[in-house]
Amino acid sequence: MIVVNTLTKRFGARTAVNSVSFQAWPGEVFGLLGENGAGKTTTLRMIATVLSPDEGDVYVNGRSVRREGDLVRHQLGLLTADAGLYARLSARENVEYFGQLWGLDKKTIRKRTEEIFVLLELENVGEHPVGTFSKGMKQKVCLARTFVHNPAVLLLDEPSNGLDVSSSNAVGDFILREKAAGKTIVFSSHNMGEVEKLCDKVAIIHHGELIAQGSIEGLKVDYSARFEDAFLRLVGARK
């Protein structure tokens, strides 16, 4: 579903992403790992057509992000760190509004919103204005908004950021449910426990370059270490 081919992005003299390549398939959760500033968010934004690559390309279900961006966008759900919620609208109104932007009919929007709110434990606060919500609650509304049009591909930048343990588990369960439904999911995270629980494969990015990729078990075997220790060894060797 997603083929990233020698993807490169520069901001002035700084190369944020340098010739990164990987593939993620339907029914798979693919993790992008790296320290702050490694290039994870920039990579996700290029896949999502928010940023244009300077070199290389991404293919989503055979569609090029450089040449067929409009067609690619309709297959994607993107969660970013910038919430962009309407504070005066209720959680339900925020999600339903984005359903309308995606061209869904009212019946479908209502059904999808109800399903997602139950899964993300938002059903009791759906009518409350999001301006009164905690950071974690706002994050869950953003997730609901990302999923409302039932996209085939989910791009999630730190999906459990700001969530307590219970809410984080609800998000993880939702991701696994979407995986079981055949979705392709790419997400970034600093939480190694979350990555081990959810990901089938990972790519580790450091200073914009891909330094390792493969299964978590494979990386643990290669470095004869726990996954977190393997990650620290890989990153530490490049400093």
Q: What percent of the chain has pLDDT over 70?
A: 98
- Residue-level pLDDT at 36: 86
Q: Domain map of the chain by residue range?
A: 2-75+151-236, 85-150
Q: What percent of the chain has pLDDT over 90?
A: 70
- pTM of structure: 0.90
> 99 Cβ partners below 8 Å, 6+ apart?
108, 109, 112, 113, 148, 149
- Residue-level pLDDT at 236: 77
CA distance 48 to 27: 19
- Residue-level pLDDT at 238: 65
pLDDT, one tens digit per residue, over 80-134 is 876 689 999 999 999 999 999 999 999 999 999 999 999 888 999 999 999 999 8
- Residue-level pLDDT at 81: 74
- Name the packing angle between helices 165-180 and 135-147 (round to 10°): 10
- Residue-level pLDDT at 163: 79
The ranges of the chain with pLDDT < 50 are: none
> CB-hemisphere CA count at 13 Å for 106?
0
**CATH superfamily of this structure's domain 2-75+151-236:** P-loop containing nucleotide triphosphate hydrolases (3.40.50.300)
- Residue-level pLDDT at 168: 85
